[in-house]
Amino acid sequence: MPTGVNQNRLPPYVSYRSWLKMLDQITRFLPGKIDSSFFNDLRFSPSTAKKMRTALLFLGLIGDDNVPSEKLQRLHRSLQGFGQETKIVVLDDILRTGYPLLFNQDFDLERATAGQIRELFEKMGVRGRIQSYCISFFLQMAIDAEIKISPLLTTRSKLGTGRKSDALKSRERRRTLLTQQSKTTQVREEEGFDWSKLHPAILALLKDLATRGESWDAEEKAKFKKAFDAVFDIAYPNDRLGHK
């Protein structure tokens, strides 16, 4: 039977690829509510949207009213590179509070077998085919949070994929982004411009700009221009400028 703060809620079983897509969106902008219109903008099917909401509720990232929790706001700030917490620190906290059975003195995640982790998920009320999806999501998020886990759990079959996991790809993208951010920070300091005065949504979008010498195809340019127009209108409404 499920125990703890997530009693009567299923652990996340949405695909990790969809999870990463959602994180990319909230990196750019965190709305006041994570409702059906938010999922529609991501082009999630009704089934995927339902699974995502289940995941967010279980992890304590939204309330029953769909309002982002303090945890989700912390994750948003860490993804944008603001504040003192990194994405890894916030994800670690989310996992440890969301899955208390997997982070206690009676269970060693670094030495666990597949059978042991299945047994714990059964105690959380998860059985049958859905169990493998729940375990796959947890393991990939743990890898993304750089939590040490048993090598017996990190094989491709345990992650439910036949190729490099989405979490590992996400970590590589994160390292690339941090390198780009470091270069951007250096340029900002050299130019002496106070970038902190820019709207956070604008700063987040600028992180997607291609680096000098990198090429973009026409479709990528068009998507960026469209996104920039939308964010610019949000950051600087027309009425502030005295226009109709």
Same domain, 131 and 208: no
Integer CA distances (angstroms), 172 to 22, 53, 65, 109, 176, in order: 18, 27, 34, 23, 6
φ/ψ region of 236 (left if φ > 0, alpha if ψ in -120 to 50, else beta) reads beta
Same domain, 116 and 213: no
CB atoms within 10 A of CB 61: 21
Q: Looking at the 3D structure of the chain, how many domains does it have?
A: 2
Same domain, 97 and 82: yes
Same domain, 151 and 198: no
Same domain, 130 and 67: yes
Same domain, 133 and 174: no
Q: What are phi and psi of 158, to 5 degrees?
A: -70, -30
- Residue 112 corresponds to which tokens in the numbers above? 């666990």
Helices 46-58 & 16-28, crossing angle to 10 degrees? Answer: 80
Identify the domain containing residue 139 by its residue range. 4-167
Same domain, 211 and 94: no
Location of structure tokens 């049958």: 128
Helices 70-80 & 87-98, crossing angle to 10 degrees? Answer: 150
Per-residue pLDDT of the chain (244 residues; tens, 9 = 90+): 333 445 578 999 999 999 999 999 999 999 999 999 999 999 999 999 999 999 999 999 999 999 999 999 999 999 999 878 999 999 999 999 999 999 998 999 999 999 999 999 999 999 988 999 999 999 999 999 999 999 998 764 454 444 445 555 555 555 555 555 555 555 444 455 666 666 666 666 676 665 555 666 677 777 777 777 776 666 666 654 444 4
Same domain, 31 and 113: yes
Contact 37, 49 (CB under 8 A): no
pTM to 2 decimal places: 0.65
Same domain, 8 and 95: yes
Same domain, 32 and 58: yes
Same domain, 107 and 56: yes
